Structure 1
Amino acid sequence: MATRQEARQEVSAWRPAVTGVVEVFHAHFTEYAYPMHVHDTWTLLIVDDGAVRYDLDRHERGTPHDTVTLLPPHVPHNGSAVTPEGFRKRVLYLDSTHLGDEFIGAAVDRPDLRDPLLRLRVGQLHGALVRPGEEFEAASRLAFVAERLRVRLRDADPSSRPPLADPSLARQLRELLDERLVDGVTLDEAARLVHAHPAHLVRAFSAAFGMAPHQYLTARRVDRARRLLLDGRSPGEVAVAAGFYDQAHLTRHFRKLVGVPPGRYRLSGGGRLSQAGRPPQGAASGA
């Protein structure tokens, strides 16, 4: 039989296919308190409900709702709820891909960052990580999160940005995404192939085309799915043939971009055209 404490714990943990992310950990704790411990990774923490108090480097710290907490590797810390209602948190454990050891000292001194934009971006990153098939989006969002963390830890102006204009780089990425429409490409691989930093690559593409690379890739895949559906293929077949993770992944984006689920879209016209070259009466227009 579960104890009272165990009954009031909710935990979800997984390892996504995103470079730099060792583990994603979502939890709701009430009575549980972490003893002193260490990680060999960076701990990036946001608290959605309640608050956590913890000790880091012999100093008492806290995580108000609007902060982002970054705990460095190899530095002991603990943690417990501030109120009896406990806390709900989302955590990323990151390796040194995006944050090197040179930032450990700054993170020990300033682990709790009051930065609304950073807080928003970390939340958006978690939103991508919980959806299977959105690894390209998650990697893009992680690149921006890591970039802002580095800026904050260097005491630089967080509003500063690298130059946006780089249309040649943007075109190279677009061509690569078109070539790898079905098989896909990771952000790290794309950055290597076009010789650019991942965050700069995403920013250049967004500035040039008015949408993020993952949005462009998804839209192109939905377009491909539409054609295949009108050829009479089933949504399950189309999901694989268009580069989606599974049928649910296809349905989520298809409904968002087209307005109806793929099965309904397919049945609306049955893939048949009239002699005049127009869809049969009642068919989707394809707009």
Structure 2
Amino acid sequence: MVDVIRAWHPQVPQVQEVLHARFDHHAYPAHTHDSWTVLLIDDGAVTYDLDCHDHLATPTAVTLLPPQVPHDGRSASPEKGFRKRVLYLEPEWLPESAVDAAADSPTLLGTDALTEVTDIHAALADPADALAAECGVLALREFALSRLTPVGEPTSDAPLARRLRDLLDDRLLESFTIAEAATELGTHRSHLVRVFTRNFGISPHRYVIGRRVDRARRLLLSGSSPAEAAVESGFHDQAHLTRHFRSTLGTTPGIFSRR
């Protein structure tokens, strides 16, 4: 029986679907997906067969299931169910060359992968954080590629990083995606995020949030209300500003302006 299940299609490039579920007794029969499946176990454990090999998914790691490879799934303990969060990503999210490697080794160990996937789900909970979710999906791609494909030579491409920074500055008050920026700059979105982060030490999303918080801070000091500052600095609404303002400066816009 299914105790809890929630699924939705977010407006985020490369994300087909998001699923949150808790199962007490359900067992998945063998099946395939046409997408990359990123599985995060929050409670319990899942044993599954992937490409005729047994594996175990636990809360200590991220599981990456490749498209078109049969797998099943069931609770590792007959007395206990499991709780999971799943991202279904476009088949083009990773190259075809990564499919066999993921089938052989579907477990992404380490806190980096866990943190990245957790942050993606947190961003997907609020449509205002779509850019954060998109950047997270691209960062997770780089992490997965580093585990599944041979390491290539790093590239700096500082001119491209500066072009993206200029574009982000020009569109600071607009809603846009990295996919749109990559099309305009004539490059791949993953490469764009990689060179920006390598050159400036911060992801494009964090750069935009920092610039918007800085703008809101100046507006508040000039007498704008938190609601006005949110609109005039590119945030979705006052709640969106408050969340990032507190995270960046350690206080709320209202308290900041009163002091």
Q: TM-score if structure 1 supplies the norm length?
A: 0.79
Shift of 1:174: 1.4
Deviation, 1:182, is 0.6
Aligned residue in 1 for 2:167: 176
| Structure 2, unpaired ranges of 5+ | none
In structure 2, what is the equivalent of residue 75 of structure 1? 69
RMSD of the alignment, in Å?
Answer: 2.5
Q: Determine if the alignment matches structure 1 residue 94 to structure 2 residue 89.
A: yes
* Aligned residues with identical type, % of pairs: 47
CA distance in 2 between counterparts of 1:109 and 1:215 reads: 34
Q: After superposition, where does 1:254-273 map in structure 2 within 5 Å?
A: 254-266=245-257, 268=258
> In the alignment, which residue of structure 2 is the partner of 1:53?
47
CA distance in 2, matches of 1:110, 1:60: 11
The answer for the alignment partner of 1:277 in structure 2 is none
Cα displacement (A) at 1:168: 1.9
Q: Answer yes or no: is the 8 Å Cα contact 2:31–2:71 preserved in 1.
A: yes
Distance in 2 (CA, whole Å) between partners of 1:130 and 1:161 is 36
Give the deviation of 1:102 after TM superposition.
Answer: 4.1
Q: Sort the Cα spacing of 1:10 and 1:184 in 2 relative to 1 into closer, same or farther, 3 A.
A: same
One-letter amino acid matched to 1:208 = N
Q: Identify the range of structure 1 (107-116 vs 82-91) with the bigger mean alpha-carbon deviation.
A: 107-116
Report the secondary structure of 2:132's partner residue: helix
Paired residues of 1:132 and 1:249 also in contact (CA < 8 A): no
The residue aligned with 1:162 is: 154
Query: Which residue in the other structure is 2:130 paired with?
Result: 135
Residues 223 and 113 of structure 1: CA distance in aligned 2, closer, same or farther (over 3 Å):
closer
Is 1:252 the equivalent of 2:243?
yes
The structure, 1 or 2, with the larger RCO (C-alpha pairs under 8 Å, 6+ apart) is 2
Partners of 2:223 and 2:104 in 1: how far apart?
A: 61
Counterpart-to-counterpart distance in 2, 1:209 and 1:60: 42
Whether contact under 8 Å (2:36, 2:93) holds in the other structure is no
**Matched residues in 1 for 2:203 and 2:230: separation?**
22
> TM-score, normalising length from structure 2?
0.86
> Against the structure 1 CA distance between its residues 207 and 95, is the aligned structure 2 distance closer, same or farther, given a 3 Å change threshold?
closer
Do the aligned partners of 1:41 and 1:93 also contact (CA within 8 Å) in 2? yes
Counterpart AA for 1:97: E
Q: Does 1:120 pair with 2:115? A: yes
Superposed displacement of residue 142, structure 1? 1.3
C-alpha distance in 2 between matches for 1:223 and 1:78: 49
* Count of residues in correspondence between the two structures: 258
Q: Deviations over 1:161-197 (max 9, x none)?
A: 622x333222211111110011133111222222333
Deviation at 1:95, TM superposition (A): 0.9
How far does residue 217 in structure 1 lie from its aligned partner after superposition? 0.8
Bigger fraction of residues in helix: 2
In structure 1, the gaps of 5 or more residues are 269-283
